[in-house]
Amino acid sequence: MRQYRLAFAALAATMLLGGAAAPALASPPAASQATATAATTAADIPNVVDVTAANYQQVMQWSHTKPVVLDFTASWCYWCKKQDPYLRQYNTADNGAWVLAKVDVDRNPDLARRYGVRGIPALLNIQNGTEAGSRHVGFDGPASLRTWLNNL
Q: Is 95 designated active site?
A: no
How many angstroms separate the CA atoms of 88 and 100, rounded? 8
Q: Catalytic: which of 77, 99, 100, 117?
A: 77
The distance in angstroms from the start CA to the end CA of the chain is 59
Beta-carbon contacts of 73 under 8 Å, excluding residues fewer than 6 positions away, are 80, 84, 102, 103, 104, 105, 120, 121
Q: Is 125 designated active site?
A: no
Q: Catalytic: which of 51, 59, 70, 80?
A: 80
In a 10 Å sphere around its CB, with 0-12 CB exposed, 13-18 middle and 19+ buried, how is residue 72 labelled?
buried
Catalytic residue IDs: 77, 80
